[in-house]
Amino acid sequence: MSLATTQSIADIRARNKQLIEEVLKVYPEKTAKRRAKHLNVHQAGKSDCGVKSNIKSIPGVMTIRGCAYAGSKGVVWGPIKDMVHISHGPVGCGQYSWGSRRNYYVGTTGIDSFVTLQFTSDFQEKDIVFGGDKKLVKVLDEIQELFPLNNGITIQSECPIGLIGDDIEAVSRTKSKEYGGKTIVPVRCEGFRGVSQSLGHHIANDAVRDWIFDKLEPNGTPKFEPTPYDVAIIGDYNIGGDAWSSRILLEEMGLRVIAQWSGDGSLAELEATPKAKLNLLHCYRSMNYISRHMEEKFGIPWCEYNFFGPSKIAESLRKIAAYFDDKIKEGAERVIEKYQPLVNAVVAKYRPRLEGRTVMLYVGGLRPRHVIGAYEDLGMEVVGTGYEFGHNDDYQRTAQNYVKDSTLIYDDVNGYEFERFVEKLQPDLIGSGIKEKYVFQKMGVPFRQMHSWDYSGPYHGYDGFAIFARDMDMAVNSPVWKKTKAPWKETPRAKLLAAE
Amino acid sequence: MAQSAEHVLDHLELFRGPEYQQMLDKKKMFEDPREPAEVERIKEWTKTPEYREKNFAREALTINPAKACQPLGAVFASVGFEGTLPFVHGSQGCVAYYRSHLSRHFKEPCSCVSSSMTEDAAVFGGLNNMIDGLANSYNMYKPKMIAVSTTCMAEVIGDDLNAFIKTSKEKGSVPAEFDVPFAHTPAFVGSHVTGYDNALKGILEHFWDGKAGTVPKLERRPNQAINIIGGFDGYAVGNLREIRRILELMGIQHTILADNSEVFDTPTDGEFRMYDGGTTLEDAANAVHAKATISMQEWCTEKTLQFVAGHGQDVVSFNYPIGISATDDLLVALSRIGGKDIPEQLARERGRLVDAIADSSAHIHGKKFAVYGDPDLCYGVASFLLELGAEPTHVLSTNGNKAWQTKMAALLAGSPFGQSCQVYPGRDLWHLRSLLFTEPVDFLIGNTYGKYLERDTGTPLIRIGFPVFDRHHHHRSPVWGYQGGLNVLVKILDKIFDEIDKKTNLLGKTDYSFDIIR
C-alpha cells in the first residue's frame, strides 16, 4: 500500500513540492530552470495544472515523446483502412510503426485494406542527392498497378522530404489528375516539425481539410439518406476495438454512427462526415482541429465525451443525448440501465481487490485525464499524471474535471524524473508506455501499458470497463510481485525508506 | 449482452457475438466497400504468376521490408559497452522508435537519448542541441561513455559529429577526457546491420586511434586474446553467453565486444539497472592487442573487420553459425587461432546434436523451406537446413547484396538439397508472398512479420529472426553452437509435429493418422 493514503493533503503537497525540488537538482542550471516550469503540484480550484506545455523537449534528457510523423501516420492517418499510406523517406519510420498501434479493422488486408502493410519509398542516398519526386511518381504508379482496389493514397513525409525540397504536393496533384481525380493526400509531417506528435496531428487534420473536404463537390448526392440522428465518432483509433465498444452504445441509444475517425475508418466515412448532425470527440488533442473546422465550415457542433469507466460513460451518454430529442434522451437512460447490472457485478468483483490502491499515469492524447474516472470507479486513486504532448487546454480540462488536490503533475517527463517520482510516491500501479513498462516492472511496480492496452482491450464503453477492471486487477494482484526479493535478502522498500 | 464480470471477454472473443457482428455489418454501408466478388477476384489474381511478374517488376515501391535503419543497429551495439548511453543526434521521434522496437523484442528496457533537433536546428544546424544534450545526459544518467550516432535529419543537413563533440567538450558539456565515440549512421544507406558496423567501428577507432586526436594512438602489443563480435542479433542474450561458455571451456582468453547480453536480460528484483554488464572500456581499448578478431556475422562487420585488420590482427568472419558444420568450423578456427584443443565436453555436445538429428531427421528430410532475414542469419539457417536434409527453396534478404547472393548460391550449389533454391537479395516480404503462392513450400522461417504471410498463404511460420514481438523469451536461448543448433532443431520439429497433428485431428475423418508416437 502506498504512502499517500496515510497522509494529509498538506503533507502530500509538501512532499511533492520537495520531490520536485530534489529532482531538479540533477540538472545543469539552464535545464533546471526550463524543467521547473513543467513540474507542479496541482492546487484545487485552479483553472489549469500550473505547468507549461507543448514546448520543445530538452536535448539529452530522454524524453518519452515521438515526432510529427508518428502523430500523422501513426495516429491520425494510419488507421484509415482503404487507403494506402506511404512512409515516404528512409525505411526505419515505417518499420518501427508497422502494426504496433493495434488499430483494429475489418477488411481483406492487401486487397481492399492496407493498415497492417508497410509501404515505403525506402530512400537511398541517390534519392537524397537528386530528390525523391521521381521515385514518388513511380511508387504511386506501382501502388495503382499492384493494389487496384485502394480508395486513395496518402504520402507521409519523413524528415528528409522537407529538407531536400521535394514538391510532394505537385506530384500529388499531377497523379491525382492522371488517375481521374483519385484522392492522393500529401502530408508534411516531417519528424523535425514541432515539438512532439502533436503538430503531426494538426498537420494531418489540416490535410483532411485541404485534400479531402475542399475537394468534395458541394452539392454532391449523399451515398445514404441522412437522418436527424447521424453522428460521427472523432478521435477514436479503435485500439483493441475501442471504437466498436463505443459505437455499440451510441447505436443502442438510437443514434446512427456514419463515420469513425479514424479507427476502422474509410475514405467514404471521412467524406460523409460533413453530413453529421453532431461530432463526438473522444481524443480532443489529436482531432479538435478538424472538429473546429467542421463547426465553422459546415455548422456541425462537437461534443467531447469520455467512455472510460461507468461514471464518465453515463455522464457522457446524457451529455450527448442532450443535443437530441426525447427519443435519444430516453435511449441514453435505457442504455445506462441496461448495463448497470454489468457495472455492479464488475465493481463488486474487482473494487474490493483494488480499493485504495494508487496509480501514476504518464500517457498521451486524452488518457492522462480520461482514464482517471475509470480508476476511481474501482476505488483507486491517481496520485500523479502528465501528458507526453498535451497543450494548456488539456491541462485546463484535467484541472477542472479530473485531478484531485495535490496530485503531482509532470509534463513531458523524462526517464530520470519519472523514476525518481515513482521511487518516492511508491504507487501500486503505473500506466504508461512500452519504453517505461520494463523499467518499472524491474523496480517491482505493477504496470499496464496505456497506449496499446498491453495487447488487451477494448477499454472503451461498458464492455471495455469489464476488461479494464480485470486487467488492472491482474497487474496489481499478480502473485509475481511478492517474489521480487529473494527470501535471504532484506526487503528493498524498508531499506529505501530508512535511507531517506 | 455477452460481457460479464464472471467471464470477462476481451477482443479475442467479444466481437464475435451477434451484437457486434450485426453492428459491423451495418457499418459497411458507410464504408462504400468494394463488391465482394471484386475483392475475391483481385485476391485470387494476387496469387498468380502474372501478378508475381508485375510484383517483381517493382522499381520504387517497397512493401513489408525485412530490414530497419542504421541508427537502430548503432544503439544495439552501443548498449553493449559498460555504462554506455547511446545518444542519437537528430529528430527525437527516431529514438522513441528504436527504444520501443528493442523493448518489444527483448521485453526489456532500452535506454537511449536524443538531441531533439527541431526546425530551427534544421536551419542552423544541431550544434547547440549537441552541447546541451551531452551536458544533460552526462549529469542525469552518469554514464561512463556516451556513444553518438545520427538520424537521417542530421545527415541530410550535414552536421559534423567530430567537430560538434570537440566544441561541446570545449564548452564544458562533458569533461575533456570523457569518452564520446561517434559514428555517422544515415538511414538512407544500408540497414540496421550497417549501423551496427559503423557504430562499433566508431567506438574501436575512438579507443585505438587516439580518441579523436586528443591522446596518442595505442601501440599494439599483441597478446593471446581473441576478440569476438556478435553482430546485430535478436538472440544476443543467449548467443553471446553461449559463445562465452565455449571460450571458457576451451580456456581461450577473450573479449566479447559490444556484449549486450546482460543489459537486455536484467533481473526483476526491485532495482532498475539502466546499465548492466557490457564490454568494459578498458577491455575495449585493450582489444587492440588481441591476436585476432572473430566476427560471428560477416555482413554486420565489414568495415569494422577491415579497420581491425588494418591494426595488424587476424580477422575471421562467420555467417551466423547454426548447426554441426558451422559450429565445427567455428571451433576449429577458435582452436587454431587460440592455440587450444577442443575439449571433450564440446565433442560430446556435438555428438548429442548429431544424435538428435539422427532421431528426428525423417520428419524434416525433403521438406521445403522459405527463409528470410538479415543476410548472415539467412546463411546460417539455410546451411543448417541443408544439414537436416531439408530443401531451402527461397532465401530472401531485403538487406542482402550481390556479394551475399553469390556466397549463398555457392553454399546451395554445394549440397544436393540446395539445388532447387533461389536467392533473392534486396527483395521484400510482398515479393515473398508471390513466391509462396507460385512456388509453395512446407514451412517459412523468419521474424514476427512472417505471420502475415502465414495467414495469407497458409505456410506455417517458424519464428527465427528479429524482431520477434509475438512470442516471448526465445532470445534468452542460444541458436549458435551445438547447443543452439539443438534449440533450432526443436523449434523446427515442434512446428512440424504441430502441423501434422492439426492435419490429422478430425474425428472419424483423418484421425487414423493422429498418432500417439511420432
For residues B39 and B33, give the distance between their C-alpha atoms in angstroms, rounded to a whole number.
10
Q: Is A202 a catalytic residue?
A: no
Is residue B146 within 8 A of residue B87, CB to CB? The reply is: yes
Per-residue model confidence as pLDDT tens digits over A161-179 = 999 999 999 999 999 999 9
Number of Cβ pairs closer than 8 Å across A and B? 354
- The secondary structure of residue B371, as a DSSP letter, is E
Q: Is B156 a catalytic residue?
A: yes
Predicted pLDDT at B354: 98
Query: Which of chain A's residues have a Cβ under 8 Å away from the Cβ of B273?
Result: 442
| Segments of B184-253 assigned E as strands | 226-229
> Pick from B27, B39, B135: which is nearest to A112 by CB?
B39
Report the pLDDT averaged over residues B358-384.
98
- Sequence-distant (6+) residues with CB within 8 A of B147 are B74, B77, B78, B81, B84, B85, B86, B87, B180, B181, B182, B183, B199, B202, B203
- The secondary structure of residue B510, as a DSSP letter, is T
Per-residue model confidence as pLDDT tens digits over B124-148 = 999 999 999 999 999 999 999 999 9
Residues 57-76 of A with CB under 8 A from B: 57-70
- Sequence-distant (6+) residues with CB within 8 A of A117 are A84, A109, A110, B63, B64, B430
Residue A147, pLDDT > 70, answer yes
How far off is chain A from B393, nearest CA to CA, in Å?
24
Per-residue model confidence as pLDDT tens digits over A95-129 = 999 999 999 999 999 999 999 999 999 999 999 99
Report the pLDDT averaged over residues A62-81.
98
Binning pLDDT at 50, 70 and 90, where does residue A491 land? Answer: low
Chain B residue with minimum CA distance to A445: B270
* A117–B152 C-beta distance less than 8 A: no
Query: Which of chain A's residues have a Cβ under 8 Å away from the Cβ of B36?
Result: none
Query: Which of chain B's residues have a Cβ under 8 Å away from the Cβ of A93?
Result: 93-94, 97
Chain B residue with minimum CA distance to A256: B27
How far off is chain A from B460, nearest CA to CA, in Å?
18
DSSP collapsed to 3 states, B409-472: HHHHHCCHHHCCCEEEECCCHHHHHHHHHHCCCCEEEECCCHHHHHHHHCCCEEECCCCCCCCC
Q: Which of A214-228, A448-462, B27-41, B85-99 has the weakest average pLDDT?
A: A214-228
Is residue B263 within 8 A of residue B241, CB to CB? The reply is: no
For residues B270 and B379, give the distance between their C-alpha atoms in angstroms, rounded to a whole number.
41
* B10–A456 C-beta distance less than 8 A: yes
Q: Is B94 a catalytic residue?
A: no
Predicted pLDDT at A493: 54
Residue B246, pLDDT > 90, answer yes
Residues 317-336 of A with CB under 8 A from B: none
Identify any residues that bridge with B53 across adjacent strands, giving them in sequence order.
Answer: none
* A58–B116 C-beta distance less than 8 A: yes
* A462–B34 C-beta distance less than 8 A: no
* B110–A470 C-beta distance less than 8 A: no
Whether residue B36 has a cis bond before it, omega within 30° of 0: no
The SS3 of residue B84 is strand
For residues A236 and A460, give the distance between their C-alpha atoms in angstroms, rounded to a whole number.
10
Mutate to test the interface with A, among B1, B6, B8 (most CBs of A within 10 A): B8
Predicted pLDDT at A6: 63
For residues B77 and A409, give the distance between their C-alpha atoms in angstroms, rounded to a whole number.
36
Mutate to test the interface with B, among A142, A159, A423, A441 (most CBs of B within 10 A): A159
Residue A219, pLDDT > 90, answer no
For residues A10 and A70, give the distance between their C-alpha atoms in angstroms, rounded to a whole number.
40
Report the pLDDT averaged over residues A199-226.
92
Residue A136, pLDDT > 50, answer yes
Query: Which of chain A's residues have a Cβ under 8 Å away from the Cβ of B475?
Result: none
For residues A203 and A198, give the distance between their C-alpha atoms in angstroms, rounded to a whole number.
9
* B8–A470 C-beta distance less than 8 A: yes
Residue A355, pLDDT > 60, answer yes
Query: Which of chain B's residues have a Cβ under 8 Å away from the Cβ of A90?
Result: 69, 152, 186-188
Mutate to test the interface with A, among B12, B14, B30 (most CBs of A within 10 A): B30
Binning pLDDT at 50, 70 and 90, where does residue B345 land? Answer: very high
Report the pLDDT averaged over residues B87-91.
98
How far off is chain B from A476, nearest CA to CA, in Å?
15
Query: Which of chain B's residues have a Cβ under 8 Å away from the Cβ of A439?
Result: 109, 272
How far off is chain A from B204, nearest CA to CA, in Å?
23
Residue B202, pLDDT > 70, answer yes
Query: Which of chain A's residues have a Cβ under 8 Å away from the Cβ of B8?
Result: 466-467, 469-470
Query: Which of chain B's residues have a Cβ under 8 Å away from the Cβ of A70?
Result: 93, 96-97
Predicted pLDDT at A89: 98
> Pick from A138, A415, A485: which is nearest to B111 by CB?
A415
* B107–A27 C-beta distance less than 8 A: no
Per-residue model confidence as pLDDT tens digits over B269-323 = 999 999 999 999 999 999 999 999 999 999 999 999 999 999 999 999 999 999 9
Chain A residue with minimum CA distance to B274: A439
For residues B247 and B228, give the distance between their C-alpha atoms in angstroms, rounded to a whole number.
10
Report the pLDDT averaged over residues A409-437.
98
Residue A392, pLDDT > 70, answer yes
DSSP collapsed to 3 states, chain A: CCCHHHCCHHHHHHHHHHHHHHHHCCCCHHHHHHHHCCEEECCCCCCCCCCCCCCCCCCCCCECCCCHHHHHHHHHHCCCCCEEEEEECCCHHHHHCCCCCCECCCCCECCCECCCCCEECCCCHHHHHHCCHHHHHHHHHHHHHHCCCCCEEEEEECHHHHHCCCCHHHHHHHHHHHCCCCCEEEECCCCCCCCCHHHHHHHHHHHHHHHCHHHCCCCCCCCCCCCCCEEEEEEECCECCHHHHHHHHHHHCCCEEEEEEECCCCHHHHHHHHHCCEEEECCHHHHHHHHHHHHHHHCCCEEECCCCCHHHHHHHHHHHHCCCCHHHHHHHHHHHHHHHHHHHHHHHHHHHHHCCCEEEECECCCHHHHCHHHHHHCCCEEEEECECCCCHHHHHHHHHHCCCCCCEEECCCEHHHHHHHHHHHCCCEEEECHHHHHHHHHCCCCEEECCCHHHCCCCCHHHHHHHHHHHHHHHHCCHHHHCCCCCCCCCHHHHHHHHC
Per-residue model confidence as pLDDT tens digits over B34-63 = 999 999 999 999 999 999 999 999 999 999
* A100–B100 C-beta distance less than 8 A: yes
* A58–B136 C-beta distance less than 8 A: yes
* A159–B270 C-beta distance less than 8 A: no
Mutate to test the interface with A, among B12, B43, B51, B62 (most CBs of A within 10 A): B62
Per-residue model confidence as pLDDT tens digits over B95-116 = 999 999 999 999 999 999 999 9
How far off is chain A from B183, nearest CA to CA, in Å?
17
State phi, psi for B411 to the nearest 5 degrees.
Answer: -60, -45
Query: Which of chain A's residues have a Cβ under 8 Å away from the Cβ of B473?
Result: none
Predicted pLDDT at A223: 83
Query: Which of chain A's residues have a Cβ under 8 Å away from the Cβ of B156?
Result: 128, 159-160, 163-164
Query: Which of chain B's residues have a Cβ under 8 Å away from the Cβ of A165?
Result: none
Q: Amino acid identity of B487? A: N
The SS3 of residue B89 is strand
> Pick from A110, A164, A244: which is nearest to B20 by CB?
A244
Is residue B296 within 8 A of residue B321, CB to CB? The reply is: yes
- Which residue among B94, B110, B148, B152 is the active-site one? B152
> Pick from B14, B71, B107: which is nearest to A241 by CB?
B14
Predicted pLDDT at A222: 74
> Pick from A62, A159, A248: which is nearest to B151 by CB?
A159
> Pick from B5, B23, B29: which is nearest to A349 by CB?
B5
Chain A residue with minimum CA distance to B115: A59
Percent of chain A residues topping a pLDDT of 70 = 97
Query: Which of chain B's residues have a Cβ under 8 Å away from the Cβ of A416?
Result: 140-141
* A90–B188 C-beta distance less than 8 A: yes
Percent of chain A residues topping a pLDDT of 90 = 95
Residues 339-368 of A with CB under 8 A from B: 339, 342, 345-346, 348-350
Predicted pLDDT at A498: 38
Residues 440-479 of A with CB under 8 A from B: 440-444, 456-458, 462-463, 466-467, 469-470
The SS3 of residue B143 is coil
Predicted pLDDT at A1: 43
